[in-house]
Amino acid sequence: MSFTYKSYVPHGITFGTKHTWRDWRLVPTSRPVFLPPDVKTVEVDIPGSDGILDLTESLTGDVKFNNRAGSIEFQVENRSNWVDVYSEIMDYLHGQRMRAILDDDPDFYYMGRFNVNAWKSEKNHSLITIDYNVEPYKMERFSSLEDWEWDSFNFETGIIREYKEIRVDGSLTFTIAGRRKTVVPAFTVVSDDGSGLQVRFNGTIYDLPDGTSRVLNIVIMSGTNTLYFTGNGTVSIDYRGGRL
């Protein structure tokens, strides 16, 4: 790998509030990615029958995944204070659970635990390896109730979610574009008369009392999810999408 440190702009990672290049001058030896999660398969070998019985989706109706685990290697220019840099990274990162955001994928974060694996010193530079064990889904940086940062928003693949204090006057049809991860959203209701609202989802009607609550049977899945509200008041829907 050949570059000039002063001019090189790497494909970095933000761990919590620290950026690998801006704060530590770390350069990945290859474009960083988090490895795909392994599928949680459930298979039963039945004696006397051909093949196996695959029960992977039988419990929840969906495929589940293990955490993503792997490591990312970085190169750092040898400096007189490299021991201080190493200690700074160790103090901040080693053993800690936090968010990680790739420069190449700024609309999502990975949540998990990170460890400093090794520091190898060469003549002109050193190599540092950071291990990760993160949740299988990368999550949207902003929930449907948070303000967006338009500077980093991807207008080709991003989804604008404005689900805060939606007004219901008699009836309202509301559509949520779901991501791959199944999510049970939270509803915060403020009704005009204190009686709450009602919502119909997949043919079933549920009561939504004033305050914040969840309905376990309202599961937002990949694709179009339509909610039919009745009553008078406002509803805020707290949803954060996740994808692989």
Q: What is the pLDDT of residues 29-66, one digit of tens each?
A: 999 999 999 998 887 888 877 778 777 777 777 889 99
Is residue 217 scored above 50 in pLDDT? Answer: yes
CA neighbor of 69 nearest in space, from 120, 110, 16, 9: 110
> Has residue 244 got a pLDDT over 90?
yes
**Tokens for 65?**
């995944």
Q: What is the mean pLDDT of residues 66-93?
A: 87
Residue 19 · residue 102 · CB < 8 Å: no
Q: What whole-number distance in Å separates Cα of residue 31 and Cα of residue 229?
A: 46
CA torsion angle for 178, 184, 190, 193 (degrees, to 10)? 110
CA–CA distance, 139 with 147 (Å, rounded to integer): 16
Domain end: 112, 136, 160, which one?
Answer: 136
**Greatest CA separation for the chain:** 74
Average pLDDT over residues 178-190: 97
User: Which of 147, 145, 146, 179 minimizes the C-alpha distance to 164?
Assistant: 145
Instruction: Give the CATH number of the domain where residue 230 resides.
Output: 2.60.120
Residue 2 has pLDDT above 60, yes or no: no
Residue 107 is part of which domain span?
13-136
Nearest alpha carbon to residue 112 among 26, 188, 31, 15: 15
pTM: 0.86
Same domain, 23 and 125: yes
* Domain-located, residue 86: yes
Last residue of a domain, one of 79, 103, 136: 136
DSSP structural state of residue 87:
H
Task: State how many domains the chain has.
Answer: 2
